[in-house]
Amino acid sequence: DAGVIQSPRHEVTEMGQEVTLRCKPISGHNSLFWYRQTMMRGLELLIYFNNNVPIDDSGMPEDRFSAKMPNASFSTLKIQPSEPRDSAVYFCASSPDGGSGNTIYFGEGSWLTVV
């Protein structure tokens, strides 16, 4: 079975450019997460969708970050304009509904470097 699919795997961009990260969750999963991982702050939840609706975006760092989920099989995380401090690994993850004991399935990550 296909897992969570993310693209691009690696991106190097210049400061000020727009970055779009893409995610295809596991079919049938109702919950979708965007996480950011850095050495300094560890794993941070940026935004959580349930049934394609953003439920919790309290982790989005600032207005430069936005996320959408137009349908059950696709989500994007956009950074505009990008800054060097946005350099991190961004993970998309999905989970079936049913409570806080469910396993979260992660994609392989998008490694972003902003120079």
Partner 1 sequence: AQSVTQLDSQVPVFEEAPVELRCNYSSSVSVYLFWYVQYPNQGLQLLLKYLSGSTLVKGINGFEAEFNKSQTSFHLRKPSVHISDTAEYFCAVSDPAAGNNRKLIWGLGTSLAVNP
The nearer residue to partner 1, 28 or 99, going by C-beta atoms, is 99
Comparing CA positions, the residue from 13, 34, 32 lying closest to residue 81 is 13
Instruction: For residue 49, give both structure tokens.
Output: 């969708």
Distance CA(45)–CA(68), nearest Å, equals 15
Of 25, 29, 36, 48, which one interacts with partner 1 (CB under 8 A)? 48
The CA-based dihedral angle spanning residues 33, 37, 42, 43, taken in that order and rounded to the nearest 10 degrees: 10
**Residues in 71-110 at the binding interface with partner 1, rule: CB under 8 A:** 91, 93, 95, 97, 99-109
- # residues near partner 1 by CB under 8 A: 25
Please give the residue ranges that form the binding site for partner 1 (CB under 8 A).
4, 31, 33, 42-43, 45, 48, 50, 55-56, 91, 93, 95, 97, 99-109
